[in-house]
Amino acid sequence: MRTFIVTCLHILALSALPLAGAAETERKPVLQVKGAVADAPISFSMAQIQDMPATTLTTSTVVTDGVHQFTGVLLRDFLAELEAVGDTLTATALNDYIVDIPLSDLERFDVIMAYSMDEKALERADKGPLWIVYPRDAHKELQDIRYDYLWVWQLSELEVK
């Protein structure tokens, strides 16, 4: 009987592992927000970001073939929620890529911080876990190198200035 119970507990523990692993990943901090926002610095987990109202955007990109459907949060709404004030959003990536995005871009265009492409989570090895996506196909002026380099992939930090 004792062996039986121990075996059962073992099976339970083993079967719970993959789930616990996934949930833990969702709760790990993935994004730091600094600068001119209320309560800075704030860190967000993927679970927190995915709990926010989602926006879907369909566009081509310069680094993928064809048109893709991206899901994420509207950067304009995300920053408004954090009471951001300033002119510039400095975005930093895991590979230390760093670029300034004018906050006016976010007012003029529905730019999103995407966490999935074609309903699949963006992987770290492929532009994830967060990718700044502009509505490129909807606006002729966004089809330009000056905007392409603002599509920060592997986004890890935002600073409002």
Contacts to ligand MTE by CB under 6 A: 62-63, 93, 95, 97, 148-149, 151-154
Q: How many CB atoms lie within 10 A of CB 142?
A: 20
Structure tokens at 2: 């004792």
Q: Under the criterion CB under 5 A, does residue 63 sit at the interface with Mo ion?
A: no
Q: Closer to ligand MTE at the Cβ: 8 or 149?
A: 149
Q: Which is nearer to ligand MTE, 27 or 124 (CB)?
A: 124
118 binds Mo ion (CB under 5 A): no
Degrees (nearest 5) of the Cα angle 130, 132, 137? 130
Say which entry of ligand MTE, Mo ion, none residue 47 contacts (CB below 5 to 8 A, set by partner kind): none
Q: How large is the C-alpha radius of gyration of the chain?
A: 19
Name beta bridge partners: 100.
90
Give the Cβ contact number of residue 131 at 10 Å. Answer: 24
Q: How far is the CB of 90 from ligand MTE (least distance, A)?
A: 13
Stretch that binds Mo ion, among 23-31, 113-121, 129-137, 141-149 (CB under 5 A): 141-149
